Amino acid sequence: MNSLPLEGIRVVAITNAWAGPYATQLLGDWGAEVIRIESIFRSTRYVARADEATLSRNRSQRIFSWPNMEPGERPFNRLARTNAHMRNKLAITLDMTKPEGIEIFHKLIKKSDVFIENNVPITMDKFGISWETLSQTNPALIMLRMPGYGLTGPYRDFRGLGSHMEAIAGHTLIRSYPDTEPGQQPDVFPADAAGGAAAVFATIMALMHRRKTGEGQLVEFATAENFMPLIGDFILDYTMNDRLWAQMGNTDRYMSPHNIYPCDGIDRWIAIACRNDKDWALLCNAMQRQDLIHDDRFNDSTNRYKNRDKLDTLITEWTKTKVDEKLMHELQAVGVPAGMLFDDQNSLEDPHLASRDFFQELTHAESGTHLYPGIQFKMQNTPNEIHRAPAMFGEHNEYVYKELLGYDDKEYARLEREGHIGNDFDPSVP
């Protein structure tokens, strides 16, 4: 493999949930040495004990998913939700509640280029971690902080996950369905993904600034604020017209029909959208319902929007007996925008992704060999692939403590006894 653009950049990470781990995954994918700090006294891998894993498995199969649904002796190393973002990273353990833990942390910061964290600010305050302290240790450091709501203001110490960020930005109310409560939403939070990607952009800008000036920098990245421009048109519509959009579900402000319709089978669906009268006529022809083209309820975009519920009922009666993939190709062939809703199996078997070798097979010491989503974009002059299987808990302790920080075998053994170093969680962790 050719040299990757971020080789030589060392990133230390204390990250949780999705936005922070996704940002460091991207940096690791493109060559940065990412060192994730964890603790044997607190699980950031969602589950620590096999008995708790068995209970959790019964509550949520998506979040708590292991090979063949078997947690194994160390379920935290086999969990799909963690392994999905731990590729191309190193993992160490450190107890930062102890003074020596903070001392070790500063030794690592001194040898690093970037520190990324996405915790509620008060957590870092408790550890005495701030730009003021870390910049004294390493003036050239880039410190990127990703709190939900920023480092100042009345919401500073509010704990926030993707669901909270989207709610406070207004997206939850916009995308909820008309016939449900706004809180009844699936776990799909673009604020997290958008935060991870934009945080990488911010990190690279700070590195470019350092290259020009030699100066380190604090980057304050409020993930909720980062998301709001993505729904900026709704916000501007209110400022210009005092108009609020709420509970749109799959509908569109202008197009109708514009929805997801059931097809033959369990959880088989197709999306259909008509941009104008021409699309509507093409759909009516495909349905063999030419009588609807000039129906007073549907003869222009305004009337179709007013009567969209009735329209959706008519289309559902037609689609529910159809095979989703076949219907998608039939509608596309005549010019109607349509697409089947892929599940995971559809994606893995998709001939387009297969032709691009998107999925990559990786072998993990405890979870086995599986296909993983590949690198998110391609660079013509820089071939790339996943170069390291997901890091197991504490897997790289020896490299970081002995090779990077210079601790000898005796000191390493002492740090193990004192709870800094380990490959399993302390029995006190549930």
Distance CA 55, CA 399 (A): 35
Q: What are the pLDDT digits (tens) for 421-430?
A: 999 999 988 7
Share of the chain above pLDDT 70, in %: 96
- 53 has a pLDDT exceeding 60: no
- 414 has a pLDDT exceeding 90: yes
- Residue 376 backbone dihedrals phi, psi, to 5 degrees: -75, -25
Average pLDDT over residues 253-257: 90
Average pLDDT over residues 292-303: 95
pLDDT for 324 equals 97
Q: Does domain 269-340 fall into CATH 3.30.1540.10?
A: yes
- CATH class of this structure's domain 10-229+355-417: alpha beta
Distance CA 381, CA 371 (A): 25
Q: Considering the chain, what is the average pLDDT of its residues?
A: 92
Quickly tell me which residue has 């880039």 as its tokens.
142
Q: Model's pTM, two decimal places? A: 0.92
Average pLDDT over residues 339-353: 94
pLDDT for 386 equals 96
- Reference 41, options 94, 120, 86, 106; nearest CA is 94
- 62 has a pLDDT exceeding 60: no
Tokens of 371: 């296909």
Q: What are the pLDDT digits (tens) for 161-204?
A: 878 888 888 888 888 888 888 777 767 788 888 999 999 999 99
pLDDT for 64 equals 67
Residue type, 127: F
Distance CA 10, CA 115 (A): 9
Q: What are the pLDDT digits (tens) for 224-244?
A: 999 999 899 999 999 999 998
CA torsion sign for 89, 94, 95, 98 is negative
Contacts of residue 206, defined as CB under 8 A and 6 or more positions apart, other chains included, come to 114, 142, 144, 217, 219
Distance CA 93, CA 393 (A): 8
pLDDT for 61 equals 54
Looking at beta carbons, which pairs linking 338-347 to residues 24 or more positions away fall under 8 Å?
Answer: 338/270, 338/271, 338/272, 338/273, 339/270, 339/271, 340/263, 340/268, 340/269, 340/270, 340/271, 341/260, 341/268, 341/269, 341/270, 341/271, 343/267
C-alpha Rg value of the chain to the nearest Å? 25
pLDDT for 247 equals 85
Average pLDDT over residues 118-123: 94
Q: 65 pLDDT band (50/70/90 cuts)?
A: confident
Contacts of residue 53, defined as CB under 8 A and 6 or more positions apart, other chains included, come to 47, 64, 66, 71, 75
pLDDT for 60 equals 54
Q: 69 pLDDT band (50/70/90 cuts)?
A: confident
Average pLDDT over residues 147-163: 89
Q: 283 pLDDT band (50/70/90 cuts)?
A: very high
Looking at beta carbons, which pairs linking 185-189 to residues 24 or more positions away fall under 8 Å?
Answer: 187/62, 187/163, 189/18, 189/161, 189/162, 189/163, 189/165
Locate the DSSP E strands across 121-257.
142-145, 217-220
Q: What are the pLDDT digits (tens) for 379-405?
A: 999 999 999 999 999 999 999 999 999
pLDDT for 241 equals 95
Q: Where are the alpha helices (DSSP H) in 185-251?
A: 190-213, 223-227, 232-241
pLDDT for 59 equals 53
- 419 has a pLDDT exceeding 70: yes
- Reference 145, options 165, 176, 116; nearest CA is 116
Tokens of 1: 């493999």
User: Is the CB of residue 221 less than 8 Å from the CB of residue 195?
Assistant: yes
**3-state secondary structure at position 117:** strand
Contacts of residue 345, defined as CB under 8 A and 6 or more positions apart, other chains included, come to none
- 406 has a pLDDT exceeding 90: yes
Distance CA 74, CA 124 (A): 29
Distance CA 59, CA 243 (A): 40
Average pLDDT over residues 139-158: 94
pLDDT for 159 equals 85
Q: What is the DSSP letter of 61?
A: T
Question: How do the domains of the chain map onto residue ranges?
Answer: 10-229+355-417, 269-340
